[in-house]
Amino acid sequence: MLDALDSISDSLTKETAFTLAVAVLVLGLVASYLAWRLTHSLFRRTGLTSTVEGTTVERTAGRFGTSTAGIIGMLFALLVYAFAMLVAFNITQVFDVSAFWARIAALLPQLFVAILAIIVGFALGDRAKLAVQERLRSVKLPRASILPGLVKYSIYYVAALIALAQVGVAATALLLLLAAYAFGIVLLAAVAFKDLLAAGAAGLFLILNEPFTIGDEVRVDGQRGIVQEMTLFVTHVEADGEEHIVPNHQVFRSGIVRVRD
Amino acid sequence: MSGLSTVVDELIADVDGVLLFTTNQSTYEQFADGDLPVIVVETENAVGAESYVSLPLELSSPSERVRFGIEGAINQGLLEEDEEVIGLTQSFSESRLDTVVRVRTDEFTQTGVYDLFANSRPDAEVVRDVFEVAIELGRKGQKGKPVGALFVVGDAGTVMNKSRPLSYNPFEKSHVDVGDPIVNVMLKEFSRLDGAFVISDSGKIVSAYRYLEPGAEGVEIPKGLGARHMAGGAITRDTTAIAIVLSESDGMVRAFKAGSLVLELDPEAY
């Protein structure tokens, strides 16, 4: 595109080129203002303003007298204006270093995306931390408080990785680290939740098909008694004042004997 | 004025504890700094009090509330049976403390109303939800007409074995819990059917339309109550369930546990 501009500017006189460049600059100014406005209204309309409220990014932005929407809008406006400037320079050919400008032009969007990734990552991380904290608030377990932080920094890490990859820094090692981390989590989860998953799957069948129901006398997993409760994960079987809570996969595996007399 | 302050001074002299019915943080802190033990009785522990009795329902009458607070506090070991306590609660205002009650903790016989919620087999929340349905049904009736209803909560397996269906169970193969607003509407609709609702420990509605068949010997219920109350009272003696009965004739909500009446509420007061 810049080559095309070059060929246009070659065919222009110096005065026309200058006027055109000024016009492009003014147009760029207007466009960047519009971009800034657009970001603001987009933030408001999609409810993003309330979403980022209370996050570190928003607070930091607040300290500089602006907001997240302001920062992203500014970035966007700057990008547009930088592009306009680029075009203007090319038309007037003040500096005849088109190769240099071409490289800058290629780098600009990447830089923009990188900064955007950082901002979005920080806001998202904070939000996720708050959400997890909210969910865990009813659980009065001090050790569970490590989880929100873990979630937050995981998201920060991914955001940083995206940003680094955008500007072309070699991040392969970090990527490998992330892969190992993700793999570890998946592996741990699979091992830890194995029984729960199996019980849940069996429970789904039991609840949907109801081969037995509350009040039936059954023998499951060696326990004979009256069914008191059926949930997704466990079945409560009670006999002689003893309530056996049997995991559903065990119910399924052992088979069910319905006692009828 | 001196007469008034003498009475008030006498009222608060030599008390062993304060039952505070408040969700206001600053009110609580005024008391927490004093040397009297303070027990907060409310639907939620909004003030983060150390001694706290959870009020399951918004009991409207101050005496009911104080009675519940004392039973709860004794049950939790926060109060002894021969202590003098002050209850600070609301009679007319919604949130402002406007009533001072002085009561000896053994002044009345314990009805087990705290026990009904805290130490029953079904979850306290389930009991509360069923109460709320019964109260609402009692207040509004079914399409404006007074209705009766019988909810048997907890020990559902045994209850099902001590009862028989009157017709098809509308809740068969459904997995709905009491407390869900839509389900409460369903419960109200089905209340025009005769028979009992059976609800499990965790609040699952097991069946409607059940005819309870417990042995009714030795069940003491107040005179004047009918077959619904008798059936409800009797089933709680034979099982570990509790029964919540809405009377069609006088519109009261009554709760039975272990064969005896524990709580009587007027839905109109809510």
For residue B1, the distance in angstroms to the closest alpha carbon of chain A comes to 49
pLDDT exceeds 80 at position B200: yes
- Residue closest to B11 by CA, chosen among B87, B67, B80, B116: B87
Record the pTM: 0.69
Of the partner residues B161, B172, B202, the one whose CB lies closest to the CB of residue A229: B202
Q: Is ipTM > 0.95 here?
A: no
Task: Check if A178 contacts B (Cβ < 8 Å).
Answer: no
pLDDT for residue A142: 67
Residue with tokens 């909560």: B153
Class of the CATH-defined domain A196-258: mainly beta
Q: Are residues B15 and B138 in the same domain?
A: no
CATH of A110-192, one of 1.10.1410, 3.30.70, 1.10.287, 2.60.40: 1.10.287
Q: Determine the Cα–Cα distance for residues B73 and B41; give it in Å rounded to an integer.
A: 9
Chain B residues with CB inside 8 Å of A261's CB?
none
Q: What is the pLDDT of residue B270?
A: 67
Gap from A145 CA to chain B (nearest CA, Å): 20
| Boundary-marking domain end, from B67, B99, B114 | B114
β-pair partners for B193: none
Give the model confidence (pLDDT) of A90-126 as tens digits. Answer: 777 665 556 666 777 777 778 888 888 888 888 888 8
Chain B residues with CB-CB distance to A216 below 8 A:
157
Q: Say yes or no to pLDDT of B46 above 80.
A: no
For position B153, what pLDDT does the model report? 94
Q: How many domains does chain B have?
A: 2
Report the residue from A207, A214, A231 with minimal CB separation from B157.
A214
Q: Can you tell me whether residue B260 is helix, strand or coil?
A: strand
Q: What is the pLDDT of residue B242?
A: 93
Please state the rounded mean pLDDT for residues B73-98: 84
pLDDT at B199 over 70: yes
B95: closest CA of chain A, how far (Å) = 26
Chain B neighbors of A228, CB-CB under 8 A: 155-158, 200-201
Give me the numbers of helices (H) and strands (E) for chain A, helices first please.
Answer: 10, 5
Amino acid at A172: T
Q: What does the mean pLDDT of chain B come to?
A: 86
Provide the phi-psi class of B117: left if phi over 0, else alpha when psi is between -120 and 50, else beta. Answer: alpha
Candidates A204, A206, A214, A223: best to mutate against B (most CBs of B within 10 A) is A214
Of the candidates A210, A228, A231, which has its C-beta nearest B156's C-beta? Answer: A228
Q: What is the CATH number of the domain that holds B242?
A: 3.40.1700.10
The CA distance from A112 to A76, in Å, is: 8
Q: Evaluate whether A172 touches A145 at the Cβ level (below 8 Å).
A: no
Are B93 and B145 found together in one domain? no
| Per-residue confidence (pLDDT) for residue A245, from 0 to 100 | 92
The 10s digit of each residue's pLDDT in B52-66 is 888 887 777 888 888
pLDDT tens digits, B103-151: 888 887 777 788 888 888 898 889 989 998 898 888 887 777 888 899 9
CB of A224 within 8 Å of a chain B CB? The answer is no
* Region B207-233 average pLDDT: 84
The reported pLDDT for the residue numbered B205 is 92
Q: How far is CA A22 from CA A16, A33, A254, in A?
A: 10, 17, 83
- Name the closest residue on chain A to residue B201, using Cα atoms: A229
Q: Judge: B157–A207 Cβ closer than 8 Å, yes or no.
A: no
Residues B255, B241: one domain?
yes
* Minimum-distance CB partner of B175 among A207, A226, A236: A207
Mean per-residue pLDDT pooled into runs of 10, chain A (261 residues): 59 75 85 85 77 71 74 82 80 65 75 84 85 76 76 87 82 85 90 90 90 90 89 91 90 90 73
What residues does each domain of chain A span?
1-96, 110-192, 196-258
Contact between residue A43 and residue A110 where contact means Cβ atoms under 8 Å apart = no
Write the pLDDT tens digit of every residue in A71-98. Answer: 788 888 888 888 888 777 777 766 555 6
Q: The domain containing residue B110 runs over which residues?
A: 2-114
What is the count of residue pairs from A and B with beta carbons less than 8 Å apart?
A: 39
Closest C-alpha among B114, B120, B261, B265 to residue B202: B120
Chain A residues with CB-CB distance to B202 below 8 A? 229, 231
The answer to whether A110-192 and A196-258 have equal CATH topology is no
Q: In what order do the strands lie in the sheet with B99-104?
A: B52-54, B38-42, B17-20, B84-89, B99-104
Res B1: pLDDT: 65
Contacts within 8 Å (CB) and 24+ apart, B213-216: B213/B162, B213/B163, B213/B164, B214/B162, B214/B238, B214/B239
Min Cα–Cα distance to chain A from B54, Å? 16
- Listed residues B92, B114, B136: the one ending a domain: B114
Choose the final residue of a domain: B87, B114, B141. B114
Residue B88 shares a structural domain with residue B149: no
Give me the phi and psi of B161, to 5 degrees please: -80, -15
| Model pLDDT, residue A54 | 67
Asked if residues B157 and A228 have their Cβ atoms less than 8 Å apart, the reply is yes
Q: What is the pLDDT of residue A6?
A: 59
What residues of A are in contact with residue B238 (Cβ under 8 Å)? none
* CA pair distance B49, B21, nearest whole angstrom: 12
**Which pLDDT value is given to residue B145?**
83
Give the residue, A67 or B254, on which the prediction is more confident. Answer: B254
Q: Which residue of chain A comes nearest to B162, CA vs CA?
A: A215
